[in-house]
């Protein structure tokens, strides 16, 4: 599938996925969401040698400044609920992807943009990044998981304040509250995200995937996270990578993981 609103490039085995609607501040319209769904459900899983994915926005002003509000004016109760469900499903694909996905936030990450960043496993922010869920200013609420993930990252009190006031967090405040992992100089966010994924790529791929799945299990109300961890641990001990990693540790050499 050829994408109109996504730019897909590969650098050192890492996919750089750019939301490419700079004139619209990379707003998430319906077509962009469809393309994100295709990429994470069909294209990305086929890239078996890929080390990970970095999501960023075109230009320097915005990561994603929100959703396309013009499309919202066409919504009614049923269509609104359908849109929210589709958005949650797409972002769940990102959150549950088996290789690391990092948001390189290069400007405004508002509304759906903040929700997209929070669906990623980690976030690296430019010093000029801004985060927020200001949907109440439009008479609606976050619909792509924002009411749930923001609480997870910054706690109930701060999340309540941000979503009810529509206030924004600066990059430094986002770091203080635990919403982002790193803040870097403007223009260095992509390089930092690539650095992190490169470091992770030296670890055992199956173990990395199981860690991501176990972390997500913690937040799944229908899953016993501890039991999930027991099963995942058992699966890793049956891999060739475990034998290689343990042997390399004993022999004091670097492990050569193969993903088996």
Residue 88 DSSP symbol: H
CB 197 within 8 A of CB 51: yes
- The structure tokens listed for 167 are 């206030």
Helix ranges restricted to H, 23-65? 30-38, 44-46
Residue 107 DSSP symbol: S
Residue 43 DSSP symbol: I
Q: Which of 7, 34, 71, 115 is catalytic?
A: 115
CB 6 within 8 A of CB 42: no
Q: Which of 135, 173, 202, 229 is catalytic?
A: 135
Angle at CA 199, nearest 5°, toward 206 and 203? Answer: 25
115 flagged as catalytic: yes
195 flagged as catalytic: no
Active-site residues, by number, are 115, 135
């Amino acid at each position: 599938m050829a994408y109109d609103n996504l730019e897909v490039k590969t650098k050192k085995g890492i996919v750089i996925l750019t939301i490419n609607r700079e004139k619209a501040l990379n707003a998430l319209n319906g077509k962009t969401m469809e393309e994100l769904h295709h990429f994470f459900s069909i294209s990305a899983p086929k890239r078996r040698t890929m080390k990970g994915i970095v999501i960023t926005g075109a230009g320097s002003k915005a990561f994603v400044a929100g959703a396309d509000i013009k499309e919202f004016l066409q919504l009614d109760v049923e269509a609104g609920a359908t849109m929210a469900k589709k958005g949650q499903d797409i972002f769940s694909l990102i959150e549950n992807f088996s290789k690391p996905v990092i948001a390189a936030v290069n400007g405004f990450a508002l509304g759906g943009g903040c929700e997209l960043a929070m669906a990623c496993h980690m976030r690296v922010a430019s010093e000029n990044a801004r985060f927020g869920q200001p949907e109440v200013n439009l008479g609606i609420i976050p619909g792509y998981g924002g009411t749930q993930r923001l609480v997870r990252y910054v706690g109930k009190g701060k999340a309540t304040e941000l979503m009810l006031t529509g206030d924004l967090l600066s990059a430094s405040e986002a770091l203080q509250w635990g919403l982002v992992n790193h803040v870097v100089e403007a223009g260095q966010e992509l390089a930092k995200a690539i650095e992190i994924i490169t470091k992770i790529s030296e670890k055992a791929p199956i173990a990395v995937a199981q860690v991501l799945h176990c972390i997500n299990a913690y937040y799944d109300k229908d899953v016993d996270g501890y039991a999930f961890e027991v099963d995942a641990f058992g699966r890793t001990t049956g891999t060739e990578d475990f034998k290689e990693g343990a042997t390399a540790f004993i022999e004091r050499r670097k492990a050569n993981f193969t993903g088996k």
